Amino acid sequence: MSSTTNLKGIVVQVASYNTNLQGNLGLPQDLVDWLNPTLTVSNFLTRAPNGPDIVAVGFQELLPLHLGFSGLSRSVIKSRDNLIRSQIEEHAPNKESYNLVAHEVLVGVALLVYARDNGVGRRICDVQTSWTGCGPAWMGNKGAVGVRFRVRGEDGSAGEVFTFVNAHLTAHAPKLKQRINDWNHIARTLLFPSLHEKGQPTTMYSTSHLFFSGDLNFRLDVPASHPLRAHPDYIARLNAYLDTEEGRKELKEHDQLLIERGKNTVFQGLSEAEFWRFKCTYKFKLNSVDQYSTKRIPSWTDRILYATYTDTPDSSKIVPLLYTSIPSYTTSDHKPIVALLAIPPPTESESSPSPSLPPSTSSKAIPYLRNTPDYRPDPRANLKRYVGKGLGRIIGFIWFVFVLLGLGNAAIGISNVVLGMGAWSWWRKSNIELV
């Protein structure tokens, strides 16, 4: 990126990492490789040493499922918050301080959003959070969390609304339809209160800027007709292709997410930077920097997409300054990703209301979105959310008890319960015979 890039607007950093259910063990103590590679880029482009204005950090598989379902994520979130904030501030050019604007957690999906205190942090208001599950019976083992807030204009105007969403969608290559269904469910049930008095709940599209990230689980699906598939050692040959940018650029055409976006079935109106410039982020052998597991086809499962209200059908006005993965993290089978995005300055000063993305009203009125579902709020959104959360709590409590009885292993806990019930039945039968 050249030094002539216009960075008069806000600079946003978005980071995402599937930590493989490890809780506090999922991150190294030094996060500089992941959360701070953007500082050099930002300094070069702005010619002024400033850290990003807003930093959004998302996690998937944050902690073991029995703890997540039980709602026992408080200590992990507190630990992550302290570690993230200390690392950002330690490596910021001017040692700027950052404030946690808001966070939201659903089972293992978490999002923490920070703002620079000496910048937009002073102008943030109307902070909101939301969550929705899209697992079985709407439970939160898969789903999304969101944070929304308004940044007032420097001239006192209403300013612009920022919405950040972090998600974890259905896994496994053949389950493409389920991932599309997950997206549609999130688009209609991840609701925020209206910023206008007595207004109806709004979707994530009712915003000036939208950032959607996470382990989206879309896979690399190379067709049987591709010459690679005829190779005697297909996996080894595929990995060799993925080792080069030229090979990745060719294979990206078989990325499920890119294909479905082209069909306008998911992520309507959102854009993405050139994800093929970095290696597939899944599935790696644990404790390995660059060795893929043979259990899965390597894929770009971890992604960051974005949109702003001035976007056109052909391009986004948001400028991606950096979009990459961090290979040095080896405790998970995923690699973390990070993006640095330059948001265009406001087009004009308005007192009210804040500008919003086109699909927030009626996507059918916009030519390039004519095949897009009209994402209006699901009237049963709250029922679905709380049914899923309630079932998750019940399952989580039972699972947690089995883990305790098994000294950390649910399977052993179940075995202990079965053996205990058998022993009690035998003892009871013996006492009855003696009587």
pLDDT by residue for the chain (435 residues), tens only, comes to: 333 344 568 999 999 999 998 766 667 767 878 887 655 555 555 545 678 899 999 999 999 888 889 898 899 999 999 999 988 888 887 788 999 999 999 999 999 999 999 889 999 999 999 999 999 999 999 999 999 999 998 888 889 999 999 999 999 999 999 999 999 999 999 999 987 767 789 999 999 999 999 999 999 999 988 888 888 888 888 988 899 999 999 999 999 999 999 999 999 999 999 999 999 999 999 999 999 998 899 999 999 999 999 998 888 999 999 999 999 999 999 999 999 999 998 876 555 577 888 754 334 334 444 445 568 899 999 999 999 999 999 998 887 787 776 656 656 656 655 666 666 666 666 666 555
CA 83, CA 72: separation in Å to the nearest integer?
Answer: 19
DSSP letter assigned to residue 3: T
The predicted pLDDT at position 370 comes to 43
What ranges do the domains of the chain cover? 11-220+255-379, 394-434
Label the pairing between strands 209-215 and 143-151.
unpaired
Q: Are residues 321 and 45 in contact, defined by beta-carbon separation less than 8 angstroms?
A: yes
CB count in 10 Å sphere of residue 363 = 22
The predicted pLDDT at position 400 comes to 76
Please give the C-alpha separations between residue 359 and each of 11, 159, 187, 364, in angstroms, as whole numbers.
Answer: 24, 19, 11, 8
CB count in 10 Å sphere of residue 131 = 21
Phi/psi at 277 (nearest 5 deg)?
Answer: -70, -20
The predicted pLDDT at position 421 comes to 66
Q: Are residues 338 and 15 in contact, defined by beta-carbon separation less than 8 angstroms?
A: yes
The predicted pLDDT at position 229 comes to 86
The predicted pLDDT at position 363 comes to 42
Helix axes 410-434, 381-405, angle to 10 degrees: 70
Q: What is the pTM of this model?
A: 0.90
The predicted pLDDT at position 435 comes to 52
The predicted pLDDT at position 369 comes to 43
Whether residue 353 has a cis bond before it, omega within 30° of 0: yes
CB count in 10 Å sphere of residue 23 = 20
Q: Are residues 188 and 141 in contact, defined by beta-carbon separation less than 8 angstroms?
A: no
Q: Are residues 13 and 98 in contact, defined by beta-carbon separation less than 8 angstroms?
A: no
CATH-assigned architecture of domain 11-220+255-379: 4-Layer Sandwich (3.60)
CA 250, CA 241: separation in Å to the nearest integer?
Answer: 9
The DSSP line for 69-107 is HTT--HHHHHHHHHHHHHHHHHHSTT---EEEEEEEEET
The predicted pLDDT at position 22 comes to 77
